[in-house]
Chain A
Amino acid sequence: MTHRRGVLTSIAAALTIIPMAAASAAPAAGGADYTKLEQKYQLLEKQMAGMAKQMSAMQKQQAALKATQAKTGATKTKAIDREVKRLYRRVVKASQKISELEPGNIQVLIAGDVNFQFQNIQGSHSTFYADSSPMIQVRIDKNIFINTAFDFYTQAGVAGGSAADIGAANINYELNNYMTLGGGLVTSPIGGIVGVYNPAPWNRWLVDGSVEDALLPGNELGVWTRGGLPAPARMGYLTYFLFVSNGPALARTTDQNGATYNNLQFGNWDPAAQNGKTIGGRFSYIPIPNIEIGYSFEWARPSADGAITTTNSLINAVDLNSYYVNKKIDGLFRFRGGWTWDQVGQGIDSTGTFSLGGMSNGGQLEVAYQPSLCGIKYLDRVMAAIRYDRIDGPVSSNFSNGASHEQRYSIGLDYWLHSNAVLKVEYEFDNLSNNMHGNNAMFLQFAVGI
């Protein structure tokens, strides 16, 4: 009954506050409108008071009945229980109606991130680069949430030297404690890197990613269900994100030796270019808050390419995200890693079934350390980060020279001005198979999360 009493107290408080707020807003509202609003409040207030009274009486009756349950019989107690529950639901609904009438209940927030960087990549001229990604987030009520994100950035070779993308446009409905339903354009959870724990430049330890650009979908356009739930026996939490979305297209490339490779092209939502739908998702287990282990998959029938009428593709990915903070190590240690394997399987054309032979793998390991508890001014804001990443398969323009894989070693130093503002310097060693050198690169970046 404590919870019910709490609800009733909240309702009583709301009933006291809301008319005061409405009264203070009276001069701004039209006279007739305000009178109507006031009448509505008064009516609701009366209804609520009546119901609260009735419920209180029923609760007393229920307590008395329970005390003499043996004499009165279980059937009668159950009937009272049902009536109390019914009244409780009516009270909750009425309180929701009142909160919907409260001024300013739709809330809007502009968030996002901005960054600029200087980059010097071997084989290219050095250049400055800027990127701004505002997000507009709207809370319609306690259940409905809208997220829209854009990305504006400088780009060579386009009119005006800049380009814009839409990063998110989705509506979410919180169904219950463990499940949210949604639809629209959303960051893909596949691989965990982008959609879960590494969303924006200010939150990346190193500037230049590779696996997420080459092997993983950036966004999903479709419908989904996602949420978290406690693991059995109170052993941590499980999370899930399942979706049906527009699938990738099949991209065929031919190298200098004339070999044809097949890989997946994401983010092309033109119905003329693809008609296959994807089913995918990510599950993760969080045994303790410091560790998250994820598995994701995405299965699709990529769109037809030329004579190929049917094919299947399957992406699998595993990821690990963890941190350890302790005075013994004078600060914070972070570790993130993941591995993805994409398979484009058999194709069917007029001559029958044949193997497309498309298989791409890739992954990365990132380690970072920040002596945040060392007590030395300025040093406690410095983070050192190292990353190894590797891609196998026909997924990079570098591979046009016949290389079968690319691996990179990156080292970087970050200086955290705030929890959401960071200066970074990074150097990247790029190697291709057959002992060929890739394009080593240097980056300087200032990134801020809003």
Chain B
Amino acid sequence: MTFITNKMTKSLAITAVAVGFLFIAGCAANKSTKTAAATSKPAVWPLTLKDPATTESGAQIWAENCMRCHELRSPSQYTPAQWGIIVQYMRLKAGLTGTQAKKVLAFLQSASAH
């Protein structure tokens, strides 16, 4: 079982580095979004991750991603405020990025309000 321990130690080290990277990259990406106009330099991976969600619509992300795990729930089933809670939960469940979650929420709230 020593081999498992050694393998696991290596895996843990790699995992720790990966998590650290995500933390830094996430913060960098947040900052780059906020100051996008001020920093005219193009985003270069891995320092700042380019999120495809920036070019996708909320309706598209909702239709394509939610369908993977369950039947689509109609926007009218919940109020805009309730969608706020549900999308926060589903971001966790589905591993959505913050950008994706924001876009889906904007779509659902807008569709729900109408």
Contacts and interface: CB of A to CB of B under 8 A. Distances in A.
A279 B30 CA distance: 29
Q: How large is the interface on B (under 10, 10 to 19, 20 to 34, 35 or more residues)?
A: 35 or more
- Of residues A145, A227, A233, A292, which shows the largest number of chain B Cβ atoms within 10 Å of its Cβ? A227
B49 to A, nearest CB: 5
Interface string A134-161: 0001110010010100000000000000
- Of residues B22, B36, B51, B86, which shows the largest number of chain A Cβ atoms within 10 Å of its Cβ? B22
A213 interface: no
A92 B31 CA distance: 12
B96 interface: yes
Contact of A279 (B12, B61, B97, B98): B12
B65 A196 contact: no
B75 to A, nearest CB: 11
Contacts of A289: 61, 64-65, 67-68
A241 B15 CA distance: 11
Interface string B1-45: 100110010011001001100110111011001111110000001
Contact of A178 (B25, B67, B68): B25
Contacts of A345: 1, 4
A320 to B, nearest CB: 11
Contacts of B11: 297
Interface in B61-109: 61, 64-65, 67-74, 77, 81-82, 84-86, 88-89, 91-100
B95 A230 contact: no
B43 to A, nearest CB: 11
A299 B8 contact: yes
B4 A312 contact: yes
Contact of A81 (B38, B82, B91): B38
Interface in A24-83: 81
A29 to B, nearest CB: 22
Interface string A209-243: 00000000000000001111110111011011110
Contact of A325 (B5, B25, B30, B67): B67
Given A145-B88, A419-B71, A177 B98 contact: yes
Nearest to B5: A312
Contact of B70 (A203, A239, A241): A203
A197 B26 CA distance: 25
Nearest to B67: A323
Contacts of A177: 26, 29-30, 33, 51, 97-99
Contacts of A420: 71, 73, 77
B57 to A, nearest CB: 13
Given A242-B19, A419-B72, A232 B67 contact: no
A273 interface: no
Given A3-B37, A227-B22, A281-B15, A139 B71 contact: no
B100 to A, nearest CB: 7
Nearest to A312: B1
Contact of A84 (B27, B38, B53, B70): B38
A230 B50 contact: yes
A107 B85 contact: yes
Interface string A266-282: 00000000000001010
A437 interface: no
B34 A88 contact: yes
B93 A196 contact: yes
Contacts of B70: 197, 203, 419
A310 to B, nearest CB: 9
A284 B65 CA distance: 14
A290 B85 CA distance: 25
B38 A228 contact: no
B27 A4 contact: no
A340 B84 CA distance: 35
A286 B66 CA distance: 13
26 contacts: A1-B37, A3-B36, A107-B84, A139-B84, A145-B85, A145-B88, A145-B92, A175-B23, A176-B29, A177-B26, A178-B49, A178-B98, A195-B93, A196-B93, A197-B69, A226-B95, A227-B95, A229-B97, A230-B53, A237-B52, A239-B95, A242-B19, A279-B12, A289-B68, A321-B68, A321-B69
Interface of B: 1, 4-5, 8, 11-12, 15, 18-19, 22-23, 25-27, 29-30, 33-38, 45-46, 49-53, 61, 64-65, 67-74, 77, 81-82, 84-86, 88-89, 91-100
